[in-house]
Amino acid sequence: MTEIPEHLLKRSQDAKAKADGDSAPPPQSVAQSDDDGETIPRSLLEQSQQEGAAAPAGGGVATIAPPAMAGPSGNTHRLLTVVKSGSIQDVKASPGDKVHVWPHLLAPEFTAALFITAFTLVFSLFINAPLLELANHNATPNPSKAPWYFLGLQELLTMFDPMIAGVTAPGIVLVLLGFAPYIDRNPSNAPEDRKFAISIQTIHLMFWAVLVIIGSFFRGQGFNFTYPWDTGLHGIFHL
Amino acid sequence: MVMPTECDSEEQTKLMAKNIEKRKQSLPEKLQQGATAATDWMQDSQFWTSVFRPGSIFRKGYTDSPRNRSYVIMNSVLYHLHPVKVKRHAVKVSYTLCLGGLSFFLFILLTITGIFLMFFYRPTAAAAWSDIESLHTQVSFGLLVRNMHRWGAHLMVISVFLHMARVFYHGAYKAPREFNWVVGVMLLKLTLLLSFTGYLLPWDQLSLWAVTVGTNMMGFTPVFGDQVRFVLLGGKQIGAETLLRWYVLHVLMLPFTLVIFLAIHFWRVRKDGGISGPL
């Protein structure tokens, strides 16, 4: 519930006191005295029950008390209840809920940039980029591997015809990936509404991840299956 | 401006008192005053005020006000890619994981380190490998910069890939951001191509055979596979022509294309109403 600033409250009380005349105290003072913010103040409840007994025709509907039934201090209106704004108004983050890019976005961006620079620098201090012997067309290394991000494709080549593994499969994947927004007609972006899309993408990503891992660590001489603990990981940074 | 006064003697007394006060100050105090005066003089100069536009944190009297926070973005050629304000959830690192920004930053890092490497590299079959070797042994920081270029490139492939996954899982490719996803997939392919073309340049056994394996796959493409492969390799197999072609692709053509797509990508992020979400 929004806090009403103190000075506004005071001003409104002053204005009410002035309108009611000095004899009548402001009605809020009655309501606030036992208002715990949750329930109808006890004094008002009792008052309304008494009045309800006197006029049963009123039912549950809030009725305006006639001036004849003025309150104990002579005021001619009643405060029925205080309703928290959230219960009747749908309070949402409005489009106006914005923050300044400086510093709220630039500072994290700068931190991230510093972090990645530091990481790359430290990593580069300790691990050197590979430089093997001069390129030689007559000495084929065994195994010959593509860069790691193409190892999934190379892995597929061991299982399928090149037409399928080298062309059809990656082609279909790239086309599907590129046209994903036009294929997925589901307008929701809530995860619970997108179980199929999320599942299929996770399977797809895991498919390549597993193939790349197998290609990187589980392929030895002749691109035959091997375990990394048999052949060792000495070439792990030959990337 | 000092107005002429009748009580000159009083003025002089004040001045003398000031001088005595000055002499009493310790050295650090004097230095600090000097530094403040120098800063003021510099920031008041015409040169300084013409370089740093209103709202710059380097301008005299910068205060943290909403107006200046807006000026910081609007008046900077670097920052004005950003809007002045963004949705509150959009600055949450837990939402974006900074992956898009990191990819872009890695691209900048790779450009800088790549320019350094270009000073010491000739894309010919006779010179390429030995240039890299002398880069390692004879150029100050040569090995370090090459390492950063190499590992930064692998990091960029990873971060672009993860960025793609993040965007997919948030459903951020949905209307009105469909086309920006397509641009993003192009950027992913360009990133892979950049990495792959760079792979050949050291001209060692690793490059030669990795690229051989990679380009052999290309040859299986129906109808025009062989032709594309021939154009890319500059022959039937990888040779000196390939090295020159891939060098030009790597240092000029692909980065140039990537920058164009990047511009469209960033521009569309803003035109499509900022980043997606919250979920």
pLDDT (tens digit per residue) in A19-72: 887 555 544 444 444 445 556 667 777 777 776 665 554 445 555 555 555 566
pLDDT in tens, B186-205: 999 999 999 999 999 999 99
Q: Is the residue at B257 inside a domain?
A: yes
Q: Average the pLDDT over A125-146 and give the result.
A: 91
Selected residue with higher pLDDT from A121 and A77: A121
Please check whether residues A124 and A140 belong to one and the same domain: no
Count other Cβ atoms within 10 Å, centred on residue B60: 14
Q: Is the residue at A237 inside a domain?
A: no
Backbone angles phi, psi at A77, to 5 degrees: -140, 160
Which residue is closest to A125 within chain B, CA to CA? B144
Q: Is the residue at A70 inside a domain?
A: yes
* pLDDT of the residue at A172: 92
Give the nearest partner residue to A99 out of B88, B165, B218, using CB atoms: B88
Please check whether residues B148 and B265 belong to one and the same domain: yes
Q: Is the residue at A122 inside a domain?
A: yes
Q: Is the residue at A185 inside a domain?
A: yes
Cα–Cα distance, B30 to B24 (Å, whole number): 10
ipTM higher than threshold 0.90: no
Q: A66 preceded by cis ω (within 30°)? A: no
Q: Is the residue at B167 inside a domain?
A: yes
pLDDT at residue B220 is higher than 90: no
Q: Is the residue at A120 inside a domain?
A: yes
Of the candidate ranges A204-218, A219-233, B148-162, B251-265, the one whose mean pLDDT is the lowest: A219-233
Percent of chain B with pLDDT over 70: 97
Q: What is the CATH number of the domain that holds B123?
A: 1.20.810.10
pTM over 0.80: no
* Closest to A190 (Cα-Cα) out of B174, B91, B181, B269: B174
* pLDDT of the residue at B4: 54
Confidence band, pLDDT 50/70/90 cuts, at residue A99: very high
Please check whether residues B61 and B160 belong to one and the same domain: no
Please check whether residues B249 and B124 belong to one and the same domain: yes
Please check whether residues A122 and A141 belong to one and the same domain: no
Residues B159 and B166: beta-carbon distance below 8 Å:
no
* pLDDT of the residue at A36: 53
Cα–Cα distance, A184 to B229 (Å, whole number): 34
* pLDDT of the residue at A31: 44
Give the nearest partner residue to A101 out of B85, B147, B181, using CB atoms: B85
- Domain residues for the domain of B119 are 92-271
- Domain residues for the domain of A183 are 136-231
* Closest to A50 (Cα-Cα) out of A39, A65, A37, A35: A65
* pLDDT of the residue at A30: 45
* Nearest chain A Cα distance for residue B33, angstroms: 30
pLDDT at residue A144 is higher than 80: yes
Q: Is the residue at B15 inside a domain?
A: no
Are residues B105 and A116, on separate chains, in Cβ contact within 8 Å? yes
Please check whether residues B209 and B116 belong to one and the same domain: yes
pLDDT in tens, B22-37: 777 788 999 999 999 9
Binding-face residues of B in 145-174 toward A, CB within 8 A: 146-152, 154-155, 157, 165, 168-174
In one letter, which amino acid is A169? A
Question: Is the CB of residue B118 less than 8 Å away from at least one CB of chain A?
Answer: no
Give the nearest partner residue to B213 out of A112, A116, A145, using CB atoms: A145
pLDDT at residue B269 is higher than 50: yes
Please check whether residues A109 and A186 belong to one and the same domain: no
Please check whether residues B251 and B189 belong to one and the same domain: yes
* pLDDT of the residue at A33: 47
Q: Is the residue at A1 inside a domain?
A: no
Give the nearest partner residue to B213 out of A127, A146, A187, using CB atoms: A146
* pLDDT of the residue at A59: 47
Percent of chain B with pLDDT over 90: 66
* pLDDT of the residue at A32: 47
* Nearest chain A Cα distance for residue B176, angstroms: 10
Question: Is the CB of residue B236 less than 8 Å away from at least one CB of chain A?
Answer: no
* pLDDT of the residue at B14: 83
B148 CB-contact burial (10 Å; exposed 0-12 / middle 13-18 / buried 19+): buried
Please check whether residues A69 and A106 belong to one and the same domain: no
Domain count, chain A: 3
Alpha-helical runs (H) found in chain A = 6-20, 28-33, 42-54, 85-88, 101-104, 106-126, 151-159, 162, 169-178, 180-183, 195-217, 228-231
* Chain B residues within an 8 Å CB radius of A113: 101-102, 105
Domain count, chain B: 2
pLDDT in tens, B102-134: 999 999 999 999 999 999 999 999 999 999 999
Chain B interface, best mutation among A120, A122, A128, A193, by max B CB count within 10 A? A120
